[in-house]
Structure 1
Amino acid sequence: MPRHSQFALLKQRRFLPFFAVQCLGALNDNVYRQAIIGLLFFLGVSDAERTLYTNLAPALFILPYFLFSSIAGQIAEKLEKQRLIVITTAMEIAIMTLAAVGFLSQNMTILLIALFCTGVQSTLFGPVKYSILPSVLRPEELTGGNGLVEMGTSISILVGMIFGGLIFQLAGSHGPIAAAAAVIVLAVAGNTIARLVPRVGAGAPELKINWNPLPESLAVLRMAREQTAVRNAILGVSWFWFVGTMLTAQLPSYALTNLGGEPTLYIFALALFSVGTGVGSLLCEKLSARTVEIGLVPLGAFGMTAFLLDLYFARAGEASAQGLSVTEFVHQAGSVRIIIDLLGIGLFAGFFVVPLFALIQSRTPKSQMSRVFAALNIQNSGFIVAAAVLGLLAQRLLGWTIPQVFLALAIANALVAIWIFTIVPEFLMRFLSWVMVRALYRLRLHGIEDNVPDEGPALIVCNHVSYMDALILSATIPRPVRFVMYYRIFNIPVMRWIFRTARAIPIAGAREDPALMRAAFEAVDRALAEGELVCIFPEGALTRDGTIGAFKSGVEKILARRPVPVVPMALKGMWSSMWSRRDSRLGRMRVPRRFRAHIEVLAGAPMPADSSAAQLEARVRALRGEAA
């Protein structure tokens, strides 16, 4: 099987221009915001005036998200997306031209007006940023594509803050001219590249826009709550922004007071977190095997908590030295631990947020996608403001030190994660199945991306070798799958909770429980009618000798009632692994001799709905070959 990499997307026009545009947008936003702060130092304003502006600027930037996100979501739903990207980047040129006037005239009022307009432009672009990905990427590419976007955003923000903060230092007396030129050049570059983005159809071109933001905001928030998994994925993304805002807001003072560094040490600390987030985002595709693997979300949540806790214990008090450069800090005792903690928080934050974005995209109808992401932006804004306010109150009113804020954040993160996983057990179920499959097996995949349909109903038929077959298939198929399984396997302790949470369909033989059998066929038909994937094991039981048994006629009854494409799949190597009937129950209790077995999962081209059970059996046999 050829090895796939998310980096291959960077060579393709369907992704690269959009990726470049969103990176340039994030870069320019942060260059501009940091350049405003640089201008304040350049003008030599008082500390009180500088504090006023530095607190007012984030509020002006975030306010449009509250006011206009619902309208932006409707516009993104109604218009062709490439056209909207060109429009928003053209707006950026006009806004940055106004900002350039503000820099050249050294007029803070003009700069703050332009900053508010920048927030409006970002609000319009926000729903397009993520809603476009499901239209240009296949389901198995969503995790990798989102990982690249998150990585690009993190690095662009970091580079923008560094470059924007250094403009006035590097340019000296020409700082205002350099800042004005930089923001205009970046805006023009973004608009130029935006014209290379392929055209992407509107999600709901017939939508009538409601220009009243308040009722429409409530409407999109209700829309985002229609599916439990999507609703709580949105909550998880907003919590990620809460944690990130709380952490990064403390880093400037933490670097000075607790790390004993110069102001540049703050940039180093921020870089560690940003690089960690970028690396974690990129690793998601490899760890998820190119599926939307929400099992990474609990791993990310508890990893963030662990490293936040360790960050508190690594340096609970003030630094003994002051004025340390980055090099001097690195050579201080205990600094390596702090560096690892900041990298680790970012790394697991990437594991946490990327699958959540992919889940929202894969579970939301395309006709609602932009409005759902508009709701996400509204909620994110509220969490960002809450994080900033709570961080300030914790230190000013409660007298907490910054390490104590980190400790409280670690505890809160663990509690929120447990709450989310309790109300949406699918997250924890996928985590357990992800750990089990990757701990017990080494997987090789053949033909799945080409032959399992990206959308619409299909029936998957596969040979049945072990008690782990359903978990292995669910870990390798990009879309959610409803499994039909023998009720005795469905009722295995511990596994039963996983199967029920995955909405598996238990079935029994006609002689054992005719009512359960009829209910299973009804559930299969409903699932196919709703456009879902359903997987059955037509042998009707686990193989006792490793060979494929005769396919029963139940598959023909399903297809006669609901004609859908049939995807033949085969498991190869499972008979020699643990949890097949080759091992006795006592044998499975011993340390397994076939731990981490090599398993192959193969998918053939879809077959027509009028295929007989014998024809499907022959195709699965051919896929599997001779070995069991």
Structure 2
Amino acid sequence: MIQFVGLLTKRRFLPLFVAQSLGAFNDNLFKNALVFFATYQIYNSIEAETRFSAIATGIFILPYFLFSALAGQFADGYDKARIMRIIKAAEIGIMAVGAIGIFTAHIELMLLALFGMGVHSAFFGPIKYSVLPQHLADEEVLGGTGLVEAGTYIAILGGTIAGGLLSAHVAAVAVLLIAIAGWLASLKIPPAPPLTTLKVDYNIVRASIRLVGAVMRIRRVALAILAMSIFWSIAAILGVLFPPLVKNVFHAQKDVASVFLAIFSVGIAIGSVIINRLLKGEVSARYGTVSVLVMAGFVADFYFAASGWPERAGPLLNTGAFLALPSTWRILLDLGMIAITGGMFVVPLYAFLTTTVEKSQTSRTVAANNIVSSGAMVAGSVGIYGATQLGLSVLGAMWVIFALCLASAWSAWLLHRAGAVPHS
């Protein structure tokens, strides 16, 4: 990816990169501040904590399922830069509501703002990938996609850490200021006029069914979407499990949960860099199967390392005390490798989606993927909560993730066999 870093000096890429990264930072600052507040200050049982974490994750993801078809139509039918400015302006209002919720400790108001941020991200999602083929040369698309993914996950890292460290009042001010900065960055994004004439269907149910049906008829695209959907269901399940896992299995404070999420974010970014170096600009799925099989191996090792964790009494461990334990580094290595191999798996698939169809259809293709992936993430979040209610332990849920890794490997193999390896 090093050869593509020069894109960060170009107006055709930098403002989009900044606007997207700030939005990802805000999403995670707000979401994690909310989840940690509930986990460590409101609830006092693993069942209630897992339930709230699942609810918060589902509320944030649901708008992707509901509105992605509409978002894809807007992005393909109107100037993408103008749509991005409108979206980023709306973020300011959403975060104002969130700030009020934080200042008043009003959980329902904070959940409303979280839903609003999900809507914001659902509309921004198709554009951030589909605009790349319009602003970048063909040989720059994979590198640009990798930079967007790396920047997103570094922003997630920052937002995750901030969500665990900042006081409620500071977080309330921060989310509002960051939203304003994101809007200012969007003003510099170059025009990206529509490449087709499109009549928008505002019936979100009908539009979603038609869009997914049309896209999934293309076998290679359908296999890529299937592979990504399974992967993002894994990510959603991990997001649900981390706070109660850290508190109840590792007997640690919320700053350790921030460390877990941060390592996962950094790992995805590192994985996106590694796969770009390996592929050297080629859009290919050939490393997908081995990447996710290695990921499955580290998931299994994480389970065995955590299952042997000694039970502790007394105050919850802070980050320093947790890192001082001799077995901690095996846990963190497993987490890092799960994320790195995950990044290596998923980044080329996004590049494939935006280069295998006509440029006039890229937003709708990404939107179809968002619908299916968000459905899988909601199913994963709700499903893992239901499984824990039926008696599955939070740690035992790692075997569900292991099985999903094997399903991802199978879908990636089918994708590679189908010839989804267009050369740049």
What is the TM-score of this pair, normalised by structure 1? 0.62
Check whether the contact 2:288–2:412 (CA below 8 A) recurs between aligned residues: no
The partner residue of 2:401 within 384, 409, 422 is 409
3-state DSSP class of the match of 2:281? coil
Check whether the contact 2:154–2:269 (CA below 8 A) recurs between aligned residues: yes
3-state DSSP class of the match of 1:160? helix
Shift of 1:271: 1.9
Give the aligned partner of residue 246 of structure 1: 237
Shift of 1:408: 3.5
Q: In structure 2, do the counterparts of structure 1 residues 183 and 4 end up closer, same or farther at CA, with 3 Å as the change threshold?
A: closer
2:4 is equivalent to residue 6 of structure 1? yes
Give the aligned partner of residue 115 of structure 2: 116
Q: In structure 2, do the counterparts of structure 1 residues 331 and 116 end up closer, same or farther at CA, with 3 Å as the change threshold?
A: closer
Shift of 1:106: 4.5
Counterpart of 1:142, as a letter, is: V
Give the aligned partner of residue 26 of structure 1: 24
2:363 is equivalent to residue 378 of structure 1? no
Check whether the contact 1:292–1:355 (CA below 8 A) recurs between aligned residues: yes
Supply the distance in 2 between the matched residues of 1:74 and 1:114 (Cα, whole angstroms): 24
Shift of 1:253: 2.7
Give the aligned partner of residue 579 of structure 1: none
Shift of 1:4: 6.0
Partner deviation per Cα, 1:387-425 (whole Å, 9 max, x = no partner): 11222233331x333443223322331144224424651
3-state DSSP class of the match of 2:217? coil
Supply the distance in 2 between the matched residues of 1:8 and 1:233 (Cα, whole angstroms): 29
Counterpart of 2:90, as a letter, is: M
Q: In structure 2, do the counterparts of structure 1 residues 102 and 71 end up closer, same or farther at CA, with 3 Å as the change threshold?
A: same
Supply the distance in 2 between the matched residues of 1:104 and 1:402 (Cα, whole angstroms): 32
Give the aligned partner of residue 598 of structure 1: none
Q: In structure 2, do the counterparts of structure 1 residues 159 and 388 end up closer, same or farther at CA, with 3 Å as the change threshold?
A: same
3-state DSSP class of the match of 1:333? coil
Shift of 1:282: 1.3
2:288 is equivalent to residue 290 of structure 1? no
Normalized per residue, the structure richer in helix is 2
Supply the distance in 1 between the matched residues of 2:283 and 2:301 (Cα, whole angstroms): 30
Check whether the contact 1:25–1:190 (CA below 8 A) recurs between aligned residues: yes
The number of equivalent residue pairs is 420
Shift of 1:76: 0.8
Give the aligned partner of residue 132 of structure 2: 133
3-state DSSP class of the match of 2:360? coil
2:312 is equivalent to residue 313 of structure 1? no
Shift of 1:116: 2.6
Q: Which of the two has higher C-alpha Rg?
A: 1
Give the aligned partner of residue 94 of structure 1: 93
Give the aligned partner of residue 186 of structure 1: 178
Normalized per residue, the structure richer in strand is 1
Check whether the contact 1:223–1:372 (CA below 8 A) recurs between aligned residues: no
Q: In structure 2, do the counterparts of structure 1 residues 354 and 393 end up closer, same or farther at CA, with 3 Å as the change threshold?
A: same
The partner residue of 1:266 within 257, 266, 279 is 257
Check whether the contact 2:75–2:126 (CA below 8 A) recurs between aligned residues: yes
Give the aligned partner of residue 84 of structure 1: 83
Q: How does 1:138-157 map to 2 (within 5 A)?
A: 138-157=137-156
Q: In structure 2, do the counterparts of structure 1 residues 305 and 370 end up closer, same or farther at CA, with 3 Å as the change threshold?
A: same
2:227 is equivalent to residue 236 of structure 1? yes
Check whether the contact 2:290–2:409 (CA below 8 A) recurs between aligned residues: no
Counterpart of 1:377, as a letter, is: N
Counterpart of 2:356, as a letter, is: R
Shift of 1:129: 1.4
Partner deviation per Cα, 1:489-511 (whole Å, 9 max, x = no partner): xxxxxxxxxxxxxxxxxxxxxxx
Partner deviation per Cα, 1:568-604 (whole Å, 9 max, x = no partner): xxxxxxxxxxxxxxxxxxxxxxxxxxxxxxxxxxxxx
Supply the distance in 1 between the matched residues of 2:112 and 2:388 (Cα, whole angstroms): 31
2:328 is equivalent to residue 329 of structure 1? no
3-state DSSP class of the match of 1:368? helix
Aligned-pair Cα RMSD in Å = 2.7
Counterpart of 2:133, as a letter, is: P
Counterpart of 2:163, as a letter, is: G
2:291 is equivalent to residue 300 of structure 1? yes
Counterpart of 2:374, as a letter, is: S
Supply the distance in 2 between the matched residues of 1:422 and 1:100 (Cα, whole angstroms): 46
What is the TM-score of this pair, normalised by structure 2? 0.90
Shift of 1:243: 1.1
Give the aligned partner of residue 189 of structure 2: 197
Supply the distance in 2 between the matched residues of 1:102 and 1:266 (Cα, whole angstroms): 23
3-state DSSP class of the match of 2:190? coil
Shift of 1:294: 1.5
Partner deviation per Cα, 1:175-228 (whole Å, 9 max, x = no partner): 43x333212211110010111111112132x10111111111011101221321
Shift of 1:46: 6.4
Supply the distance in 2 between the matched residues of 1:401 and 1:224 (Cα, whole angstroms): 38
Q: In structure 2, do the counterparts of structure 1 residues 319 and 340 end up closer, same or farther at CA, with 3 Å as the change threshold?
A: same
Supply the distance in 2 between the matched residues of 1:45 and 1:314 (Cα, whole angstroms): 29
Q: In structure 2, do the counterparts of structure 1 residues 266 and 295 end up closer, same or farther at CA, with 3 Å as the change threshold?
A: same
* Identity fraction in percent: 34
Which is bigger in relative contact order (C-alpha 8 A, separation at least 6)? 2
Check whether the contact 1:237–1:356 (CA below 8 A) recurs between aligned residues: yes
Give the aligned partner of residue 75 of structure 1: 74
Check whether the contact 1:77–1:367 (CA below 8 A) recurs between aligned residues: yes
Counterpart of 1:18, as a letter, is: L
Q: What stretches of structure 2 of length at least 5 have no aligned partner?
A: none
Counterpart of 1:223, as a letter, is: A
Supply the distance in 2 between the matched residues of 1:149 and 1:143 (Cα, whole angstroms): 10
Check whether the contact 1:144–1:284 (CA below 8 A) recurs between aligned residues: no
Supply the distance in 2 between the matched residues of 1:405 and 1:117 (Cα, whole angstroms): 29
Supply the distance in 2 between the matched residues of 1:400 and 1:55 (Cα, whole angstroms): 15
Partner deviation per Cα, 1:310-338 (whole Å, 9 max, x = no partner): 22232324424454333333343333222
Q: How does 1:129-528 map to 2 (within 5 A)?
A: 129-168=128-167, 175-176=168-169, 178-204=170-196, 206-321=197-312, 323-397=316-390, 399-422=391-414, 425-426=417-418, 478-479=423-424
Q: How does 1:546-585 map to 2 (within 5 A)?
A: none
Check whether the contact 1:258–1:317 (CA below 8 A) recurs between aligned residues: no
Check whether the contact 2:246–2:252 (CA below 8 A) recurs between aligned residues: yes
Q: What stretches of structure 1 of length at least 5 have no aligned partner?
A: 169-174, 431-473, 480-628
